[in-house]
Structure 1
Amino acid sequence: MEVRVGERLLCLAVLSSVFFADSVLGKYVKGIVNTKEDWVFLTRFCFLTDFGRLDFRFRYPKSRCCQNILLYFDDSSQWPAVYKRHEKNCYQKEAVLRPENNQVINLTTRYTWSGCVVEGDGDEEVLSCVGGRSFRSVRERWWYIALSKCGGEGLHLEYEMKLTNGQSFWTQHFSADEFGILETDITFLVIFSLVFVLSCYFAYNLKGRQLLHTTYKMFMTAAGVEVLSLLFHCIYWSLYARDGVGNGSLKLLGKLLFSVSFLVFLLMLILLGKGFTVTRARISHSGSVKLSIYMTVYTITYVILFIYEAEFFDPGEVLYAYDSPAGYGLMGLQLLAYVWFCYAVLVSLKRYPEKQPFYIPFFTAYTLWFFAVPVMALIANFGIPRWAREKIDPVKTVEETVARKGPEVPRNSEQKIITTAADLTAILPPPPIPPRPATRSPPLPPRLPSFTEYFSMQGGGGGGFGTKA
């Protein structure tokens, strides 16, 4: 039976898509908090050094006053010191912040900078707070937004937040760690479209000469599916750049198609290494069984990675897809595939030494290909700052490579956020300290320090608020 791996894997990937959903956080964030907890995490965003801005709208019953919005950054003394630290109570989590650096927004009319007013809502009065913050620091930083009311009866709040980086189409709705993704995807879409068109041209010529082999069809399948993957990614990121929400289904479909393209290409390399369509026209039954088992395990691991990323990644931590058990499993399978590839090429060369002109450059080039993914994944996990990880997709980048600032209008409810004394000295003079409210929320305490058939071979002839994304 002729190999139709691309079609079958595509069907498998599409069917598996029903098991998981996209987990990307939108830059328009909207929701309702109603909990008995006195401190909860809301969202995070990586702001640029000079262009970061948060616009917010909060509403809650006046009878539940007074609640605070807390702005933590990624310094070891801030967010890592409080998140998932169950030994710390609410007061201790607030104590790491410095109100003089405008990291606390007290949601009350007594705090001028919060932009809060009292509104009627039927028989109940509510506090409605509308305002903004500008962020300044010496480097891109992750900011984490939390809600608190220490010593109270819990939290109840409706919130809408818009988090932006400047006014440019290419940066506004993107977190700083996502910069360049859209441009890179567009570039590779153009390149791979040209590759696919050329492959179709050569396929037409090969078919006329009865030389259109299965492995070449697999290459065309991988290239064509990759073009579709990039197209969906470009559409998703373009929509996201426009409204900050995008369509998560498009991104998920793009990821699935990329996985299919990668798996088909990987299978093609192993088959070529074993000499299929180069030195022989069939693969043994045992070889087909081994390939079936391996590709099944690889596909299942990919599915597990998707599920793990969607369901188990904590939005309160900056995590990376390959910094997970499933990610390390994929890297291990990639290295196992390389060992198999080496063995297959060496056996083919031993039996058919006259094929050295083909196999030596083939083996050299794809040795780099096999190792690039695990190496880049390890570098991304351990050598790249967390705020730059989203744009570093080792599999996608390597596989694809081988085969202004607008005028800022002052607002009476706006403050600049300064992260450290060093930032303050390097960026701008201290902003004026707003008047202290006469009455505040409770004072803070002192700071505490049968698949076989699939692979049976036969010879061939040769701007505004929105919803959370």
Structure 2
Amino acid sequence: MEESEWRWFAKCWVVLTIIFISLPQRADSVIVEGNLTTREDWVFLTRFCFLSDDGELSFTFIVPEDYGVEEVLLYFDDPSQWASVYKVPGLTCSEKKVPIDDARNQKITLSTSYYWAGCKYDTTRRPGRPVYVCQGGRTFKSYRARWWFIGLANCSTTKGLQLEYRLHMTNSKNNTFFREFSADEFYILQVDISFSVIYIILLLLSVYCAYMLRSRQLFHTTYKMYMVSLGCEVIFLLIKVSYYATLANTGYKYPGVKIFARIFESIATLTFLLMLILLAKGYTVTRGRLRQATAVKITVMMTFYILLYIVMFIWEAVFFDPGLVLYLYQSPPGYGLIGMRLLGWLWFCYATFFTLKNYPEKNLFYYPLFVFFTLWFWAGPIVILVAMNVINLWVREKVVNGVELCVSFVGHFIFLILTRPSAANKNFPFHVRTTQVGVMDTPEQNGVPASASTDLDSFGAHAYAPSTETKEANGSAPTTNFMNLFVTSKERSKEPVNIDSFPHSYSNGNTAYSS
């Protein structure tokens, strides 16, 4: 990829970040506060997944006396409950109250006549306008964790509803890791912390491999892309851990922070996917550059990917109904991303087939690459479809979080194994030095490069890579600046290599092999 194209992709993600941080966010914290004024007689307030016995709702409601007696209604996730009233056209306020069972304490009447609401008549809080101040709580019992949906109603009102409220919804009083979390979010913080440590170790290993590759002048663009993907995954996990740690300590969610983390996750996924397609095309393995038509196709594909991510995040922030438990990909752009992932896999298969056809000696790298990453390409859509159609809503968030992180880690780990610069690694893909790429831009004599003696598109097989690290002029070992890992040496090899088609040979970084 050209430097200008990378800059263009970077600008897209900067714009994406600004858009989502500025979007209005839903109040889905475990502490929900607000002032409600509406002409409706029935409204939805919030939802939470409570554990049986350990789930608790603490509330403070302030209701103006002149708005009459308002009722807080508690629905649970049974088809006869919430699903039977929410977004069902034609139902009146009274009909929406039918599933509410007083014997189950599903109703809190905000009046002094209802003892369990803890209401007091107050004439001093708002001078000239008496209010009812209600403070109390509810515990929840069921045979499993359930989503509970909280609504407000006054079916006899002619003025609508007005309410100042504060709701604090908790699980497991004595456990910091569970108390402020909805039951479907249990263990997410612990899993994210674990994967953060694992990914940091993986990133450090990749830096060491990069050092070894650079000392052998084999530190190619594709490996740099791999490290960018790893780095973005680490940033994503660290921001996400910070988000959930803040929730655990304060009870407040900051959706903008979570979206910011997801942007880095998206960059990590897209960079890794792009790297796989480039490798399948043979870039940095059998060729030093792509044909212009191929580069245009890849640019168009990645542009569509970025646009779909942007639209999907906007769709979630603006159009997702907080009264429904929805998954991020349950939207038209989400389905589009699934389709693009499968399209990327088809291109990956096509490119791998023709690269192997032309360079069969590379099968030790491309066979495992194809097998493992075919599974990686398909794992994403399968996880998404299973999450949307099979996994229960009260466990979906934590299950999907763990599975998605496992899929990402396995992909990154396998690539590290395939490309490790070890003498024992027979799968090592690179055999042409970074200093040789570009040498083919040599002066021509009668239409033939002055230094070339063979077909420009297919040089004869020859061993290349050094068996030891490159030495300095004085014979000493090179001193590598780790800050220069992402800079290709300006020195060029005297040995020309066709930038469009590398020689038919391969190396593991320590020992060279020829077909």
TM superposition score category, shorter chain reference: 0.7 to 0.9
In 2, Cα distance between equivalents of 1:12 and 1:395: 24
Q: 1:157 aligns to what?
A: 163
Residues 243-282 of structure 1 aligned to structure 2 (within 5 Å): 243-282=250-289
In 2, Cα distance between equivalents of 1:11 and 1:193: 26
Instruction: Out of 270-279 and 11-20, give the one that drifted further.
Output: 11-20
Q: 2:39 aligns to what?
A: 36
Displacement of 1:24 after TM fit? 6.4
CA offsets 1:131-170 (integer angstroms, 9 cap, x no match): 0000010011000000000021211110100000112111
Secondary structure in 2 matching 1:161:
strand
Displacement of 1:50 after TM fit? 2.1
Residues 237-316 of structure 1 aligned to structure 2 (within 5 Å): 237-316=244-323
- Residue type of the alignment partner of 2:226: F
Normalised to the residue count of structure 1, the TM-score between the two structures is 0.84
Match of 1:125 among 104, 121, 130: 130
Secondary structure in 2 matching 1:170:
helix
Q: 1:222 aligns to what?
A: 229
Displacement of 1:7 after TM fit? 5.9
Displacement of 1:3 after TM fit? 5.2
Displacement of 1:380 after TM fit? 0.5
Q: 1:420 aligns to what?
A: none
- Residue type of the alignment partner of 1:38: D
Secondary structure in 2 matching 1:77:
coil
Q: 2:501 aligns to what?
A: none
Tell whether 2:390 aligns with 1:387: no
8 Å contact kept, 1:6–1:221: no
Tell whether 2:113 aligns with 1:110: yes
**CA RMSD after TM alignment:** 1.7
377 and 89 in structure 1: CA distance in 2 versus 1, 3 angstrom threshold: same
Secondary structure in 1 matching 2:397:
coil
Residues 55-454 of structure 1 aligned to structure 2 (within 5 Å): 55-120=58-123, 121-153=126-158, 154-167=160-173, 168-391=175-398, 392-393=400-401, 395-403=404-412
23 and 288 in structure 1: CA distance in 2 versus 1, 3 angstrom threshold: farther
- Residue type of the alignment partner of 2:276: L
8 Å contact kept, 1:108–1:127: yes
8 Å contact kept, 1:61–1:126: yes
List runs of 5+ in structure 2 lacking aligned partners. Answer: 413-436, 439-487, 494-515
- Residue type of the alignment partner of 2:138: R
- Residue type of the alignment partner of 2:289: R
Secondary structure in 2 matching 1:96:
coil
Displacement of 1:250 after TM fit? 2.2
- Residue type of the alignment partner of 1:114: A
8 Å contact kept, 1:6–1:260: no
Displacement of 1:247 after TM fit? 3.1
Displacement of 1:9 after TM fit? 3.2
In 2, Cα distance between equivalents of 1:69 and 1:260: 43
Secondary structure in 2 matching 1:277:
coil
In 2, Cα distance between equivalents of 1:123 and 1:233: 47
Displacement of 1:397 after TM fit? 4.5
Instruction: Out of 98-107 and 10-19, give the one that drifted further.
Output: 10-19
8 Å contact kept, 2:33–2:167: yes
Secondary structure in 1 matching 2:353:
helix
8 Å contact kept, 1:68–1:105: yes
- Residue type of the alignment partner of 1:11: K
In 1, Cα distance between equivalents of 2:315 and 2:131: 40
397 and 10 in structure 1: CA distance in 2 versus 1, 3 angstrom threshold: farther
8 Å contact kept, 2:65–2:131: yes
Displacement of 1:202 after TM fit? 1.4
Secondary structure in 1 matching 2:179:
coil
8 Å contact kept, 1:10–1:257: no
151 and 24 in structure 1: CA distance in 2 versus 1, 3 angstrom threshold: closer
251 and 10 in structure 1: CA distance in 2 versus 1, 3 angstrom threshold: farther
247 and 306 in structure 1: CA distance in 2 versus 1, 3 angstrom threshold: same
Q: In the comparison of the two structures, how many residue pairs are matched? A: 408
- Residue type of the alignment partner of 2:147: W
Identity rate, percent: 45
- Residue type of the alignment partner of 2:150: I
Q: 1:11 aligns to what?
A: 11
397 and 30 in structure 1: CA distance in 2 versus 1, 3 angstrom threshold: farther
In 2, Cα distance between equivalents of 1:299 and 1:286: 20
- Residue type of the alignment partner of 1:141: R
In 2, Cα distance between equivalents of 1:5 and 1:212: 20
Secondary structure in 2 matching 1:308:
helix
In 2, Cα distance between equivalents of 1:219 and 1:156: 54
CA offsets 1:325-355 (integer angstroms, 9 cap, x no match): 1111111000000000000000000001111
Displacement of 1:32 after TM fit? 1.1
8 Å contact kept, 2:30–2:253: no
Displacement of 1:236 after TM fit? 0.7
Structure possessing the higher relative contact order (Cα contacts under 8 Å, 6 or more residues apart): 1
Q: 2:505 aligns to what?
A: none
8 Å contact kept, 2:63–2:132: yes
Secondary structure in 1 matching 2:35:
strand
- Residue type of the alignment partner of 2:18: V
8 Å contact kept, 2:380–2:404: yes
In 2, Cα distance between equivalents of 1:33 and 1:207: 61
8 Å contact kept, 1:6–1:218: no
Displacement of 1:309 after TM fit? 0.8
In 1, Cα distance between equivalents of 2:5 and 2:70: 57
CA offsets 1:43-95 (integer angstroms, 9 cap, x no match): 00000122100000000111222000000001111100000112110111112
Displacement of 1:106 after TM fit? 0.6
Normalised to the residue count of structure 2, the TM-score between the two structures is 0.77
Q: 2:55 aligns to what?
A: 52
Secondary structure in 1 matching 2:285:
coil
